Structure 1
Amino acid sequence: MQYELRHQVIPAKRQTYQNVIDRLGDQPVSRYLEGTLDVQPRENFHYRPTWMSNRELYDERFSALRLTDSYRFTDPRQYYYTTYVAARAGLHDDFTKTLGYLEERDLLARIPAGWQAVLSSVVVPLRHYESGAQLVSVAGARFAYGTSVEQCCSFAAFDRIGNAQMLSRVGIALGGGTRDRLEAAKRMWVDGAHLQPLRRLVEEIMVLDDWAVSLLAIDLVDSLVYPLVYRGLDEHALLGGAVAYSLVAQHFSAWFEDQRKWIDALVATWATDPEAGLANREVLGHVLETWAGRAYAAVAALAAAVDSHLPGAETGTELAATAESRRSPWASLIGGAAS
């Protein structure tokens, strides 16, 4: 008796999950959407937070910034676990290769004295800034309402730890493979006069009750720190005999560009929400007026410290231009609330 094996295709009754079908219809969708849309728990909670009994465990009232539908916002990068891990693995592999090249040739230790001072007193201590920003992102991951926002905050929290680790590795490489530079960076963060405005600002942002306001406040600081310390100094390093720093800075600039994609999209979604948009724009305007000036003052202290070591850098002038250019997109989104 002979048997014949045949290939039989069984058509699927549906092409995705029911929660996605309810929103988009029965059509093929991305893994990102399948793992994001309507995943947020909304009912059958076991208990309320013991420290805030008037809130549900997951509650949109943890922030004054609301969305009529929390899934109006989606991550432009379409990151879910697999795509995020793959992207960050590539980023950190590239950084490891760059740092290995610099360590093998002892290039960081050979940069001019002024640049070594900038790395020791400004750049490496920012690993503590990243740690504070990580806690802000963790708060967003816990208290944000809607999976699309929560997962962006979660990924950002991991990114911040990664950034702090990369800065730590730069400090170790700068110190010839020892941890002395990291101890010095910690003392600088705690005691350095030029870092105290930034340290105080981060600590005050960390304890705000509204997770979204904290997220936006730290982003206003990011929007000045990253262009100043990484992109701006990168250009000066190329001409100032510190190409080794330029090779390091490119990785942080690339991360910041990626971070901007979802933060800017989220702000735009808040500002244009069909029902909550007006109230959101008022909150955004208040955030801008409350924190933008303080962010500028804190980062200006960093710029002054950089200019003291690199007189030709003129980072203070660049910082003013950056602050104005970053304020403009906010003002256009929130309209009269920013005036």
Structure 2
Amino acid sequence: MNVEPRRHTFGHVARRLGADKPASRYDEATLDLQPTDNFHYKPLWEPEYWTYDPRKTALKMEDWYKLRDPRQYYYATYNIARANMHQSVERNFAFVDKRDMLDQMDADWRATVADYLLPMRHVAWGANMNMTSICDRGYGTAITAPSIFAAGDHLGMAQILSRIGLMLDNSTGDSLEAAKATWMDSAHWQGLRKAVEDSLVVTDWMELFTAQTLAFDGILHRLVFDRFDAVGQKHGAAGLSMLTEFMIEWRAEHEKWTDAVLKAAAAESPENALMLSGWAKAWIDTVAEAARPLAARVLGEAADASITEIKADIAARCAKIGLAV
């Protein structure tokens, strides 16, 4: 017996698609899920805004659901993708631990790793807070859902870095305590610490999105997990590269989402493009300058050239998505 379905998707999705036709799981888990009307009362915090309010950013969009995720992540697809990546992480940790690969690092480089890599836990914590804030203040499930997924990603990366520290100190936790002291007190980290702390109080969520995904993630991940790691290969740090492979894979897909969101927002109007360009330039310059002392400590004379090249790479990305930096 052939049973014809009475409808192919939810009514609100059909209205968006223009007809009652089969929709993707991503569309059904994303489109128009956020409430827009008939709120009970305004919150006590920031009572000038409704709980969901497009005025929490200076950016203007006719339809906030244009900020789609090209990965089409919703709860199920996101968790399936990350579960697969996590299996690779676990295999790499087991491989490195079984073969004592971290013991093959030069003693001097081991100290350098403790100085530049482990304090990145605190950068990842700041990123987690920022992406959570974007989820809280953002408008439309198309942007808020992948933002909280990204927050979870940064928390996971902080945990990976913590595990590396525990492998380095035989699970005493001493390396993590030392990394916190380095983050709080070492001169070469203070510029980045200030930049992270300044970002925590940015209230315009679209500016914060630009700062976190384009500047912090774009610059620091290239610097730490590409440039610093490449130097480590000369000091027996192949095992460390395996332990941080998650960050390399994550950045590739994270940037697809970042670029898609910023491109759609910039294409909405010249005013949006100008505003996003200003935010991007300001934060790229801020993070690049803040990272320069750390780069100098690890790369020496090659630091300035590395920072310049990374900024040029990001500027090229910006040009492709309609931003001028």
User: TM-score scaled by structure 2?
Assistant: 0.95
**Alignment-derived partner of residue 9 in structure 2:** 16
Give the drift of 1:306: 0.9
Paired residue secondary structure (1:305): helix
Residue identity in the other structure for 2:286: R
**Alignment-derived partner of residue 193 in structure 1:** 187
Please state if 1:75 is matched with 2:69: yes
Q: Percent identity?
A: 34
Paired residue secondary structure (2:92): helix
Separation in 2 of the partners of 1:179 and 1:170?
11
Residue identity in the other structure for 2:2: V
- Show structure 1 runs of 5+ residues with no match: 1-7
Q: Any conservation in 1 of the 2:166–2:173 contact (CA below 8 Å)?
A: yes
Separation in 2 of the partners of 1:180 and 1:60?
46
Separation in 1 of the partners of 2:67 and 2:206?
14
Give the drift of 1:315: 4.1
Q: Any conservation in 1 of the 2:104–2:236 contact (CA below 8 Å)?
A: no
Alignment of structure 1 residues 1-339 onto 2, 5 Å: 8-24=1-17, 25-219=19-213, 220-273=215-268, 277-308=269-300, 314-331=302-319, 333-334=321-322, 338=324
Separation in 2 of the partners of 1:316 and 1:246?
23
For residues 45-70 of structure 1, the C-alpha deviation after alignment (integer angstroms, 9 at most, x for no partner) is: 01112122221110011011232101
Residue identity in the other structure for 1:176: N
Give the drift of 1:238: 3.4
Deviates more, 1:190-199 or 1:210-219: 210-219
Residue identity in the other structure for 1:259: H
Paired residue secondary structure (1:124): coil
Separation in 2 of the partners of 1:65 and 1:113?
50
Q: Any conservation in 2 of the 1:132–1:202 contact (CA below 8 Å)?
A: yes
Q: Any conservation in 2 of the 1:144–1:211 contact (CA below 8 Å)?
A: yes
Q: Any conservation in 1 of the 2:232–2:238 contact (CA below 8 Å)?
A: yes
- Structure of greater Rg: 1
Q: Any conservation in 1 of the 2:67–2:264 contact (CA below 8 Å)?
A: yes
Deviates more, 1:157-166 or 1:26-35: 26-35
User: CA 1:175/1:168 → structure 2, altered by over 3 Å: closer, same or farther?
Assistant: same
Paired residue secondary structure (1:45): coil
For residues 75-113 of structure 1, the C-alpha deviation after alignment (integer angstroms, 9 at most, x for no partner) is: 101111111111111112211111122122222133112
Q: Any conservation in 2 of the 1:74–1:148 contact (CA below 8 Å)?
A: yes
Residue identity in the other structure for 1:289: K
Q: How many residues align?
A: 323
